[in-house]
Amino acid sequence: MEHTTINLKLKVWRQKNAQDSGRFENYDAKDISTEMSFLEMFDVLNERLINEGQDPIAFDHDCREGICGMCSMHINGRAHGPWQGTTTCQLHMRAFKDGETITVEPWRAKAFPVLKDLTVDRSAFDRIQQAGGYVSVNTGNAQDGNALPIDKDKADASFAAAACIGCGACVAACKNSSAMLFTSAKVSQYALLPQGQPERTTRVLNMVAQMDKEGFGACTNTGACEAECPKEISISNIARLNREYLSAQLSL
Amino acid sequence: MGLNNRIPAGELAQKWSTYKSTCKLVNPANKRSLDIIVVGTGLAGASAAASLAELGYSVKTFCFQDSGRRAHSIAAQGGINAAKNYQNDGDSVYRLFYDTIKGGDYRAREANVHRLAEVSGNIIDQCVAQGVPFAREYGGLLSNRSFGGTQVQRTFYAAGQTGQQLLLGAYSAQMRQVAIGKIKEYNRHEMLDVVTIDGKARGIIARNLVTGEIERHGAHAVLLCTGGYGNVFFLSTNAMGSNVTAAWKAHKKGAFFGNPCFTQIHPTCIPVSGDHQSKLTLMSESLRNDGRIWVPKKQGDTRKPNEIAEEERDYYLERRYPAFGNLVPRDVASRAAKERCDAGYGVGSSKMAVYLDFASAIERYGKTEATKQGKSNASKEDIIAMGKDVVKEKYGNLFEMYAKITGEDPYSVPMRIYPAVHYTMGGLWVDYELMTNVPGLYALGEANFSDHGANRLGASALMQGLADGYFVIPYTIGNYLADEISTPKINTNQVAFDEAEKAVTDRIHHFMNVKGTKSVDYFHKKLGLIMWNQCGMARNEQGLKQAIADIRALREEFWKEVRVPGTADSLNPELDKAGRVADFLELGELMCIDALNREESCGGHFREEHQTEDGEALRHDDKFMYVSCWENKGEQGWDLHKEDLVYDVIHPSQRNYK
Amino acid sequence: MTWKEYFTSSIGKKLVMAFTGLFLILFLIVHATINGMIFFDDNGEMFNYYAHFFSHNWIIRIMEVGLFVGLILHAVQGLMLTFQNQSKRPVKYAVNPGNATSKWYSRSMGILGSLLLIFLIIHLRHFWIGTKASLYITGEEHNLFEEMKIVFSELWVVVFYSVGVISLCWHLIHGFKSAFQSIGINSPKYNGMIQTVGIAYSLIICFAFLMMPVALHLGWIQ
C-alpha cells in the first residue's frame, strides 16, 4: 500500500481528573504516516509532549486489535471515528485528509465519569453484568458439550450478540447515553441459548434494574448505537430485550 | 533451594486421578476464612477466581485494565483444543498429549501435559454450560477445525473470536461471584510486589492506577495469572499493557524463572509498516487451513503477486513438509519464512514478508458451492464470487481487520505476512501443583512455564489457561491450604509489608525524580530491537553475548536518563510503563543468558550453531533434557538449577513434519 | 417486580409511549376518515352527520375519555423522558455526528412532540370546545363544517395547521416504527412491512389532514 504523510491539527479534551472541569487544547500533528493507526498518531504526539516536558494525553487502550474494548475516543463527533464497524485502535490515518482539524473527546455520559483526559470510568458495565449476565453453573457441573444440540441459527445469533466488546460506544453515540445495546446484547446471548433459560426471567429484570440505577438514559430507537458499534451489534437485540422484559413481567 | 516437582508416582495416565483422590481437602467452613489473591483476570485468572470463590474461598482479583473482561486472552482468535474425538478421526487423550509433547519439541513435563489433555474435554463442557456460543453444525452439534502440528480436527472455535468468548464466559462466572461478595475486584490496579513472610507468600503490594495510592493486601495464597512477557520485544502481538512485572517481582522474591528464552514467534502476522509501529497484529493460524503460503521462485521479484504465474511460485512449506504442508507447527513455519526472506525471496516494500494466498481456496469452495446449488455451468466469475462468500463466512472478521490495517483487499490480493513475537512458553517455574518454589505462590496460564515445552501448538494456550484455572488449581491449592487453616487473617501491618511497600514507594519516587531526557518508549524500543535481532527467531553465541552487554548498558542509561512526566498520585500511564520497562530490562538479560546456556536448538529456540543439514532444529537430548530454572541473586546475577525431564512414555525423537 | 416498578423503569416508560402512541395512531385513522367526509363536497352533510354521531354516541364518549388519558400520558411521559434523557449527559459534545448515525427526526421526537402539543391546544380550542359547549351547555345542534370554513378562512391558521401536520408526519414516521421496536417486534420477517406501512400511513394521514385547511381556505370545497 502506498503511504504518504499528512499534517493535522488536533483539538483534544484535557481534564486533570474527575473534579476538574476540563477544556480543549490544540496540537499540531506533523508528518503523520497514513499507515499509522489513530492511536499510533497519539503515541507520536505523546512522545513529542514528553520530550517537550509537557504532560502526555491519557487515553485508554490495550490490545490494539479491536477486541479488548478498552479504546474509547469520540473523534469528530463520532464514537471510534468515521469508519464503520471499527474501534479507535483499528482506525487508520488513511481516513483523514492533509490539513484536517480533528476534534477528540472522551465518551460523555453521566454514567461514564471522566478520570483523566480521554479516559473514562466504565465500571457501570461490570455492575450490569454482575446483576445477571451469567449462567449460574459452578465449575465441574457440566454435562457433555454435545449433549445439548443447539439450532445453528440460534447459536449464530447468540454469538453475534456475544461479540460485544463492552467499549461503551453505544452509550457514547446515543443522544440519551442509553446502555440498551450493551445490556440487550448480553441478555440476548443467553435468551437465545437453552443454557440461559432457567434464569431468563430474573436475568432480564435484574440487569435492566441495574442499568437504570447506573444513570443511563432510556432508548429512543434512533439507531445511533447500532451505527457506531464497532462489532455492528443489531438493535434487534434491543427489541428482544424489550420483549424479554415484558414477558418476564407478564409471567405468573 | 531444592526443586521438587511433586509429580505423583504411578502410571502416567493414572497420576492425576490418583492425585485428586489423595490430595488434602479443606472443609467448607475453613475455606470461608482463607483468603486468596488472584493477579490477572485473563482465562487463567478469571477461571481460577470464579472456581475458587464457588468453592467458598474469599478471593480478591487484580487487573491493570478497567475491567476484568479486557485481559489479553480476549484477543485469541483461532480456537481451543480438546480431545473429544467428536469428528471420529482418531483423536484421543493420548494423541493430544503426544502432539503437545512433540509440538513442544520434547521440553515439557509428561505428567503436566497428560493432565492437560485429560481435562481438555471438561473445559469444552464447562464453557458450553456457561453459554459460550461455539460454532455449530446444522445438526446443532459443535463444530471443529484443524490447527498446526496435528492431523486431527480437535479445535473448537467461535468464529475468529474464540478467546473473547471463552474469556467472557469466565468473566461472567467471575462477575457472578463478585455479585454475591465472594470475589472483591480491584481493577485499574497493578501488583508491584509479592510479600513473603517466613518464606511463604502472604500478600501483595498493589498500586491504584487512578489515585496512585499504594495498597497492602494480605492472603493465604497468591496466584499469578499475569500472562506472558512477549512485550520485552516491544513489538509483539501482546496487548500494549501486557507485562512481566508481577512475575518478575515474584522472581526477585525467590521464585525461579523457567526456560525464559523459549519464545514463540507466530508465523502469520501483518508485517511492520514503519517506525511508528506500536504493536503487531496476528492473523489467526486457522487461516493456514485454507491459505497457501508462497514466495516468488525468482529472487528480488518486484512484480505484483497476481502477475506471477503459478509455476513461478514457490509454495515452500508444501515443498519442504509434504505431510503437514501449510499446517506445520508455528516455529517451523516462522523459521521457513525467515529463511526465504533472508535468502532474498521476500515480498512487499520491505521484502520482509511472504504471501498467504486464498485464491485456490476461493476457487475450491466456489466449485463446491456451485455443485451444491446445482449450477453445473457457472462462470468462473460466479464461482469466485461464491467462493469469496464461503471464505468470508469462515474468516470474514480477520479479512476485514487485514483490510483496515493495510488498506488492501485480501479477497483479491494475497495477504502479506511475517512472523512476530506471540507467546512465551517460559515463565515462572511451577511444580505439578502449579506452585512456584515459594510456598503459597502459584503461577497459572502463560505466566508459568509448564506445559508447552519449547513451542506451543496453536489453540493450546486457551486450553492451558482454562485447565489451570477451572480444573487444576481448585484441587491443588487445597493441598497447600489444608495446612493453613489455623493461620489467621494475614495482618498487613507486619514488617515484611512495611519493607515491601517502602521498596515500591522508593522505586516510584526514583522514577519521578530522574527527570532525564528520554521517554520510556525510547528505551523500550531499543530493548525490543536488541531482543529481536539477537534473541529472536535465530540466536547465536556472539549475538547473545553482545545483547547481554547492550542490555546492561541500556539499563544503566534507563535509570539515569528516563523521563517520567506527571505525578505519582494521579493517573499516569507513563509511570506505569516505566515500572514495566525497568523489569523488561532485567528480564531481557536473563532471556539472553538462558539462550546462551542452551546450546541446542529446540522448538522456538533456534541456535544457528545447532541445526541439521537441511536447516531443521537440532536438539541435544543428552545434555539439555532439562528445564532451566533460574534463581535471582540480585546484583550477582542468576544461578542455574536444572529440573531433569524424564520421559517414561514417549521416546523423544527428531521432530518430523515431512 | 411490581407493576409500578415495571412502568417506572426505562423500558416500561417506553412501553407506555409505544402503546399510547399506537392508540393515538389508530385514533388518527378514525379522525382522518371522518374529516375526509368534507371532500364529498355535499356542503358538509355527511361530515356533520358523522360528527354528530361521534359526539353523541355514548360508547364513543367513553372512548374519548380513554383517548385523552392516552394523549396526556403520551405527552407527559414524553416530556419527562426527554428531560430525563438530556440530564444523562451533563457535559455535551463539542462536535455532534449530525445525520451520519441517525435520522434528525428520530432525535427530535421531543421537539416535534412539543410542537404537536401546542398545535393540539389550539386545535382543541378551535373545534373541540365549541362542540362540547353546544353539547353540554347550549344544547344546540353544532355545525362543525361551517365552523371549519370560518376557522380556515384565516391564512395564519392554515399556515399554523400546515406546520402542525408536517410535524406530525415526521413524528409518525419515526414513532410508528419505534413503537414496534419498543414492544419488541424487530425481525427481518416484519421489518420491511412495518417500515412501508409506517411511511405510507404517515404520508396518507398527514396528506389528508393537510388538504382540509388548504382546500377550505382556497375554496375548493364549498
Asked whether residue B486 is assigned to any structural domain, the reply reads no
Task: Quote the domain boundaries for residue B271.
Answer: 267-419
Does pLDDT of B1 surpass 60?
A: no
Comparing CA positions, the residue from A46, A63, A44, A42 lying closest to residue A55 is: A46
Mean pLDDT, range B226-246, rounded to an integer: 98
The CATH homologous superfamily of the domain defined by A5-116: Beta-grasp domain (3.10.20.30)
Q: What's the pLDDT score for residue C185?
A: 96
What is the rounded distance in angstroms from the CA atom of residue A144 to the CA atom of residue B654?
37
Q: What is the pLDDT of residues C76-116, one digit of tens each?
A: 999 999 999 999 999 999 999 999 999 999 999 999 999 99
Does pLDDT of B286 surpass 90?
A: no
Q: Quick one: cell of C22?
A: 399506537
Task: Using the 3D structure, point to which of B419, B440, B474 is the last residue of a domain.
Answer: B419
Torsional class of C169: left (φ above 0), alpha (ψ -120 to 50), beta (otherwise)? alpha
Asked whether residue C98 is assigned to any structural domain, the reply reads no
Cα separations (Å) of C19 from C77, C181, C195? 12, 11, 18
Is B202 a residue of the active site? Answer: no
Q: What's the pLDDT score for residue B658?
A: 83
Alpha helical stretches, state H, B467-564: 473-481, 495-514, 520-535, 541-561
CA B225 from chain center: how many Å? 11
Contact criterion met (CB below 8 Å) for A208 and C10: yes
Q: Which residue in A74, A177, A208 is closest to C88 by CB distance?
A: A177
Asked whether residue C39 is assigned to any structural domain, the reply reads yes
Q: Which residue in A105, A176, A180 is closest to C88 by CB distance?
A: A176
Q: Which residue of B has its CA nearest to A151?
A: B140
Spell out which residues of chain A touch residue C100, defining contact as CB-CB under 8 Å: 77-78, 227
**Phi first, then psi: what are they for B421, rounded to 5°?**
-60, 135
Does pLDDT of A59 surpass 70?
A: yes
DSSP C138: I
Best A202, A219, A232 residue to mutate vs chain C (most C CBs within 10 Å): A219
CB pairs under 8 A between A and C: 146
CA B635 from chain center: how many Å? 29
**Hey, CA dihedral for A10, A11, A12, A14, is it positive or negative?**
positive
CATH classification for the domain delimited by A123-250, as one of 1.10.10.410, 3.40.50.300, 1.10.1060.10, 1.10.3720.10: 1.10.1060.10
Percent of chain A at pLDDT > 70 equals 99
Describe the crossing of helices B110-130 and B162-179 by its angle, rounded to 10 degrees.
Answer: 70
> Looking at residue C113, which CATH number applies to its domain?
1.20.1300.10
C206/chain A closest Cα distance in angstroms: 22
Exposure letters B585-611 (e unless 16+ CB within 10 A, then b): bbbbbbbbbbbbebebbbbbbbbeebe
Question: pLDDT confidence of A2, banded at 50, 70, 90?
Answer: low
B409 and B281 in a single domain? The answer is yes
Cross-chain residue pair A175–C107, CB shorter than 8 Å: yes
Q: How many CB atoms lie within 10 A of CB A11?
A: 16
Q: What is the pLDDT of residues B527-557, one digit of tens each?
A: 999 999 999 999 999 999 999 999 999 999 9
C152/chain A closest Cα distance in angstroms: 35
Best B63, B138, B172 residue to mutate vs chain A (most A CBs within 10 Å): B172
Q: What's the pLDDT score for residue A64?
A: 96
A78 vs C: CB within 8 A: yes
Cross-chain residue pair B276–A36, CB shorter than 8 Å: yes
What is the rounded distance in angstroms from the CA atom of residue B532 to the CA atom of residue B543?
11
Mean pLDDT of successive 10-residue stretches along chain C, which has 222 residues: 93 97 96 90 87 87 93 97 97 96 97 96 89 79 87 95 97 97 95 97 96 92 78
| Dihedral of the alpha carbons of B593, B598, B599, B600, in degrees to the nearest 10 | -140
Torsional class of B158: left (φ above 0), alpha (ψ -120 to 50), beta (otherwise)? beta
Asked whether residue C213 is assigned to any structural domain, the reply reads yes
Asked whether residue C76 is assigned to any structural domain, the reply reads yes
Contact criterion met (CB below 8 Å) for B239 and B167: no
Contact criterion met (CB below 8 Å) for B6 and B431: yes
Q: What's the pLDDT score for residue B2?
A: 60
Q: Which amino acid is at C146?
A: E
> Looking at residue B393, which CATH number applies to its domain?
3.90.700.10
What residues have CB less than 8 Å from A167, skipping those under 6 apart? Answer: A69, A70, A71, A72, A80, A87, A230
Mean pLDDT, range B197-214, rounded to an integer: 98
Mean pLDDT, range B85-112, rounded to an integer: 96
Residues 112-171 (A) with a CB less than 8 A from some CB of C = none
Task: Using the 3D structure, point to which of B385, B419, B453 is the last residue of a domain.
Answer: B419
What residues have CB less than 8 Å from B625, skipping those under 6 apart? Answer: B106, B644, B645, B652
Contact criterion met (CB below 8 Å) for A127 and A212: no
What is the rounded distance in angstroms from the CA atom of residue B351 to the CA atom of residue B345?
8
Asked whether residue B229 is assigned to any structural domain, the reply reads no
Q: Which amino acid is at B427?
A: G
Q: Which amino acid is at B230?
A: G
Q: Which residue in C1, C5, C185 is closest to A239 by CB distance?
A: C185
Q: Which amino acid is at B255?
A: A
Best A117, A204, A221 residue to mutate vs chain C (most C CBs within 10 Å): A221
Q: Which residue carries 463466512 as its cell?
A: B393
Does pLDDT of B425 surpass 90?
A: yes
Spell out which residues of chain A touch residue C98, defining contact as CB-CB under 8 Å: 77
Q: What is the pLDDT of residues B293-327, one digit of tens each?
A: 999 999 999 999 999 999 999 999 999 999 999 99
B164 vs A: CB within 8 A: yes
Torsional class of A223: left (φ above 0), alpha (ψ -120 to 50), beta (otherwise)? left
Total domains in the fold of chain C: 1
Does pLDDT of A1 surpass 60?
A: no
Does pLDDT of B595 surpass 90?
A: yes
What is the rounded distance in angstroms from the CA atom of residue A40 to the CA atom of residue A28?
15
Spell out which residues of chain A touch residue B75, defining contact as CB-CB under 8 Å: 63, 65, 67-68
Which residue ranges make up each domain of chain A? 5-116, 123-250
B500 and B401 in a single domain? The answer is no
Asked whether residue C20 is assigned to any structural domain, the reply reads yes
Comparing CA positions, the residue from A49, A39, A34 lying closest to residue A100 is: A34
B293 and B410 in a single domain? The answer is yes
Exposure letters A185-202 (e unless 16+ CB within 10 A, then b): bbbbbbbbbebbeeebbe
**Range name among B78-82, B543-547, B613-617, B640-644 with the lowest pLDDT average:** B613-617
What is the rounded distance in angstroms from the CA atom of residue C51 to the CA atom of residue C45?
10
> Looking at residue B609, which CATH number applies to its domain?
1.20.58.100
B391 and B501 in a single domain? The answer is no
Q: Quick one: cell of C203?
A: 404520508
Mean pLDDT, range A171-189, rounded to an integer: 98
What is the rounded distance in angstroms from the CA atom of residue B61 to the CA atom of residue B40?
7
Q: The pTM is what?
A: 0.96
**Sheet with B427-428, side-by-side order of all strands:** B427-428, B257-258, B626-632, B638-644
Q: What's the pLDDT score for residue A71?
A: 97
C77/chain A closest Cα distance in angstroms: 12
Does pLDDT of B633 surpass 90?
A: yes
B506 and B379 in a single domain? The answer is no
> What SS3 state is found at A229?
coil
Total domains in the fold of chain B: 2
Contact criterion met (CB below 8 Å) for A73 and A59: yes
Task: Using the 3D structure, point to which of B419, B437, B454 is the last residue of a domain.
Answer: B419
Cα separations (Å) of B271 from A68, B37, B560? 21, 39, 34
Question: ipTM score of the complex?
Answer: 0.98
Q: Which residue of C has its CA nearest to A217?
A: C85
Contact criterion met (CB below 8 Å) for B606 and B537: yes
Q: Which amino acid is at B41?
A: T
Asked whether residue B58 is assigned to any structural domain, the reply reads no
Cross-chain residue pair A143–B129, CB shorter than 8 Å: yes
What residues have CB less than 8 Å from A228, skipping those under 6 apart? Answer: A78, A79, A80, A169, A170, A172, A173, C97, C101
Exposure letters B328-352 (e unless 16+ CB within 10 A, then b): bbbbbbbbbbbebbeeebbbbeeeb
More confident residue, C60 or A227: A227
Asked whether residue B288 is assigned to any structural domain, the reply reads yes
Mean pLDDT, range B259-271, rounded to an integer: 96
